[in-house]
Amino acid sequence: MIDIMGRTPHAETLRDLIILRSELGDKPFLICRDVTLSYARAHIQSNKVANRLIEHGIGKGDVVATLMYNSVEQAVIWFACAKIGAIYAALNVSLVKDDLCYSLNDTGAKLFVVDEELSPAFVAAEPELTVTPTVFVLGDTAVVDGALPFEDLLGNDETLPEVNIAAADPMCIVYTGGSTSMPKGVLVSHLYYIAAAIRYGDIAEAGQEDVHFANSHFFHIGGQQFAITGPLYHGMTGIMEKWFSASNYWNTIQKYGVTIIDPLGTMMAVLLRAPKSNSDKDHKVRIGVGIAAGQVRRDLRDEFEERFGTPMMEVYSMTELGVLICSERTFDRRLGSCGRPHGWAEILIVDEDDNPVPANTTGQLLLRPKVPNTYMMEYINKPKETLAAWKNLWYHSGDLGYLDDDGYVYFVGREAHWIRRRGENVSAFEVEKAITAHEAVVDCAVVGVPSDIGEEDIKAYVQVSAEVEPMELVEWCRARIAFFKVPRYIEFVTEFPRTMTKNEIARHELRELGIGTAIDVLPDMR
Predicted confidence (pLDDT) at residue 517 exceeds the cutoff of 90: no
Phi, psi of 222, rounded to the nearest 5 degrees: -65, -45
Instruction: Count Cβ neighbours within 10 Å for each residue of 404-415 and write b for 16 or more, e otherwise.
Output: eeeebbbbeebb
What's the mean per-residue pLDDT of the chain?
92
The pLDDT value recorded for residue 162 is 96
Check which CATH number belongs to the domain holding 275 and give it.
Answer: 3.40.50.12780
From 184, 69, 82, select the one nearest 117 (Cα to Cα): 69
Dihedral over Cα of 314, 320, 321, 323: its sign? positive
| Mean pLDDT across 76-81 | 98
For residue 487, is pLDDT > 50? yes
Residue 289 maps to a domain:
yes
Residue 415 has pLDDT above 70, yes or no: no
Check which CATH number belongs to the domain holding 42 and give it.
Answer: 3.40.50.980
Q: Looking at the structure, do residues 261 and 119 belong to the same domain, yes or no? A: no
Q: Mean pLDDT throughout 445-463?
A: 88
What pLDDT is attached to residue 524? 63
Which of 383, 414, 445 is the last residue in one of the domains? 414
Contact status, residue 262 vs residue 226, Cβ threshold 8 Å: yes
Task: For residues 417-422, give the mean pLDDT.
Answer: 77
Same domain, 117 and 261: no
Banded model confidence at residue 284, pLDDT cuts 50, 70, 90: very high
CA-based nearest residue to 240, from 262, 221, 213: 213
**Whether residue 136 is found in the same domain as residue 80:** yes
> If we measure between CA atoms, which residue out of 20, 54, 58, 85 comes closest to residue 157?
54
> Does the pLDDT value for residue 360 go beyond 60?
yes
- Given a cut of 60, is residue 117 above it in pLDDT? yes
387: exposed, middle or buried (C-beta count within 10 Å: 0-12, 13-18, 19+)? exposed
Examine residue 188 and state whether it is found in any structural domain, yes or no: no
User: Taking residues 505-513, what's their average pLDDT?
Assistant: 83
pLDDT tens for 367-406 read 999 999 999 999 999 999 999 999 999 999 988 889 999 9
Asked if the structure places residue 396 within a domain, the reply is yes
8 A C-beta contact, residue 97 and residue 121: yes
Residues 160, 214, single domain; the answer is: no
Q: How far apart are CA 234 and CA 27, in angstroms?
A: 13
Backbone φ, ψ for residue 496 (5° rounding) = -120, 145
Pairing verdict, β 424-427 and 28-32: unpaired
Global pTM value:
0.85
**Who wins on pLDDT, 452 or 333?**
333
Query: How many domains in the chain?
Result: 3
Q: What is the mean pLDDT of residues 305-322?
A: 94
pLDDT, tens digit, for every residue of 456-480? 899 999 999 999 999 999 999 999 9
What whole-number distance in Å separates Cα of residue 87 and Cα of residue 61? 6
For residue 408, the model assigns a pLDDT of: 96
pLDDT above 90: residue 70: yes
- On whether residue 8 sits in a domain, the answer given is no
| Lowest-confidence segment of 139-143, 174-178, 279-283, 336-340 by average pLDDT | 174-178
pLDDT score at 179: 42
Q: Is the pLDDT of residue 293 over 80?
A: no
Q: What's residue 180's pLDDT?
A: 45
Sorted by sequence, the CB contacts under 8 Å of residue 299 that are 6+ apart come out as none
pLDDT at 416: 60
102 φ/ψ angles, rounded to the nearest 5 degrees: -60, -50
Closest CA to 325 of 281, 361, 276, 292: 292
DSSP class per residue in 320-372: TTEEEEEE-BTTB--TT---B-TTSEEEEEE-TTS-B--TT--EEEEEEESST
Percent of the chain topping pLDDT 70? 96
Q: Are residues 45 and 118 in the same domain?
A: yes
| Domain shared by 253 and 382, yes or no | yes
Write down which residue in 380, 414, 448 finishes a domain: 414
Its domain, for residue 91, covers 14-23+34-165
pLDDT for 358 beyond 60: yes
Residues 17-57: tens digit of each pLDDT: 999 999 999 999 999 999 999 999 999 999 999 999 999 99
pLDDT at 525: 55
Distance (Å) of CA 419 to CA 79, 176, 422: 32, 12, 10
Q: Alpha carbon 430 to chain centroid distance?
A: 18
With cut-offs at 50, 70 and 90, classify the pLDDT of residue 181. Answer: low
Residue 376: which of 231, 174, 200 has the closest Cα? 174
Measured distance between the N- and C-terminal CA atoms of the chain, rounded to whole angstroms: 50
| pLDDT above 90 as % of the chain | 76
Q: How confident is the model at residue 430 (pLDDT cuts 50, 70, 90)?
A: confident
For the segment 324-330, the average pLDDT, to the nearest whole number, is: 94
SS3 helix, strand, coil % of the chain, rounded to 5?
Answer: 35, 25, 40
Residues 54, 199: one domain?
no
CB contact set of 255 (below 8 Å; sequence gap of 6+): none
Assess whether 301 and 213 both reside in one domain. yes
Do residue 223 and residue 327 come from a single domain? yes
Looking at residue 297, its pLDDT comes to 72
The answer as to whether 300 is a domain residue is yes
Mean pLDDT of 273-298: 88
Sign of the Cα pseudo-torsion (281, 282, 288, 294, in order): negative
Residue 232 confidence (pLDDT): 98
Whether 257 is in a domain gets the answer yes
118 and 141 both lie in a single domain? yes
- Estimate to the nearest angstrom the gap between the alpha carbon of 198 and the chain centroid: 19
**Domain match, 295 and 367 both:** yes
Across 158-185, b (16+ Cβ under 10 Å) vs e yields eebbebebebbbbbbbbbbbbbeebbbb
Residue 346 lies in a domain: yes
- Asked whether residue 3 is domain-assigned, the answer is no
The last residue of one of the domains, among 360, 383, 414, is 414
Convert the pLDDT of each residue in 268-277 to its tens digit: 988 998 999 9
Q: Compute the average pLDDT of residues 68-74.
A: 97
Looking at 147-156, 189-198, 207-216, 448-457, which range is the least confident one?
A: 448-457
Q: Is the pLDDT of residue 501 over 60?
A: no
Helices (H), 56-94: 72-84
Domain match, 380 and 442 both: no
Q: What is the CATH number of the domain that holds 462?
A: 3.30.300.30
